Structure 1
């Protein structure tokens, strides 16, 4: 009973956090344009602005997630930490958390679509397949593998405080988003992709599940296996039994 209650609480926390994340993350493009124009930077320098915005959001949402009892806004992150043996999740809790994250993403996408100023609405819309289906699926799987492995390594293995880890996560995210921009958007977050697919009435298609759910989950699980293989904890050496001294 206690496990079921905890799973429900985790799902509610995920729904709230994912709603907030999709709402805020969808403004990154508009914020980058606004800030870059205000401070007068162009070209590659705008990536510094984008990375700074992402780092700020990751820092804030890490703090909020802790307040919500370890809530997450990305199903592949939940899967990766579970497969790596680094979470207290169960199959029941994940079965509740994934739909909750998807529902929160739908709410966030709808909300930001309603309040975003009209001159910036063209920057909304979420990820979309821009190549053939199998290439897109492979790209989303590989990108999710890379970001999941990066998250595990940065969070678990790299020393440093929260600011260092946040900046590294932001740089990894922006780099992979740019790399996958001509393939799938990309998303690397099934809930976020589902939220925008729902708004655009593409949420019940094979493309949506194949590209943005199945392959990212495979990528996240493989990333967890690779992480465990590369960073397996050393086995404790058994102490040799003490021998009695001859009397």
Structure 2
């Protein structure tokens, strides 16, 4: 079971140069992602004078997030792994691929990256609102929770299949674009219902800057549950010890 490989880490780990560089990479990648994703929504609101959401707006949000995440994961992959998402980091922790202390460092960097991105957007747009995620009419918190669990499961499962699995081979080359595609597709599926966050950092920055916390817990609990399920399922069924390629043995 992957959960048996969970590691806390050492107290000095957070001050190691490679850990600090990785955290900085997560900060920058998350800033890039949130600035483009949240910014696309603000641009749509400006062009429509804060009009009602439309299918065109949903498609533009999907494309903006897919493109931006592809870039954000790519630029951070060789330094931090390109998590860009506390749920992805949590899934990696559950699978024993990152220590708790390093994961907390990533979380801090990701959340700060999102906050800074939203502050920059607010300043650059002359004070326009960085809208917090919210539920659509007739969508309950339990509906939204299921959406976030399932969508984040798909995201983290994709991360494991294309980036974490030691048997991934050449498929690892397309990991960033596959991760961007699944997020874009999930926004098309869930965006009209709860905004399709799949990423606590993406929800946190706008909530802090606009100071709007209604149903905010959904955008943490759902993604973390979905990430944990994906990590356990993929690691147990497809990575487990019996499926690893054996190392050569001298006789």
TM-score range relative to shorter protein: 0.7 to 0.9
**What is the aligned residue count?**
222
* Counterpart in the other structure of 1:40: none
Relative to structure 1, the CA distance from residue 169 to residue 71 in structure 2 (aligned partners, 3 Å threshold; closer, same or farther) is closer
Which structure 2 segments of 5+ residues have no match? 1-10, 46-54
Q: 1:200 aligns with which of 207, 210, 215?
A: 210
* Counterpart in the other structure of 1:37: none
* Counterpart in the other structure of 2:184: 174
Matches of 1:189 and 1:80 in 2, distance apart? 12
> Which string of whole-angstrom CA distances, capped at 9 and with x for unpartnered residues, describes residues 183-241 of structure 1?
210100001101011122124x6x212x011221111011011111331252678xxxx
Q: How does 1:17-96 map to 2 (within 5 A)?
A: 17-29=29-41, 47=59, 53-66=64-77, 68-85=79-96, 87=97, 89-96=98-105
Which structure 1 segments of 5+ residues have no match? 34-42, 243-247
TM-score normalised over the length of structure 2: 0.72
Relative to structure 1, the CA distance from residue 159 to residue 115 in structure 2 (aligned partners, 3 Å threshold; closer, same or farther) is same
Matches of 2:193 and 2:84 in 1, distance apart? 23
> Which string of whole-angstrom CA distances, capped at 9 and with x for unpartnered residues, describes residues 97-137 of structure 1?
2122112211111211221379xx58x52421222222222
Q: 2:221 aligns with which of 195, 214, 224?
A: 214
Equivalent position SS for 2:231: helix
TM-score normalised over the length of structure 1: 0.73
How many angstroms does 1:95 deviate by? Answer: 2.1
Relative to structure 1, the CA distance from residue 184 to residue 91 in structure 2 (aligned partners, 3 Å threshold; closer, same or farther) is same
> Which string of whole-angstrom CA distances, capped at 9 and with x for unpartnered residues, describes residues 53-78 of structure 1?
55543343234214644453211111
Matches of 1:227 and 1:53 in 2, distance apart? 28
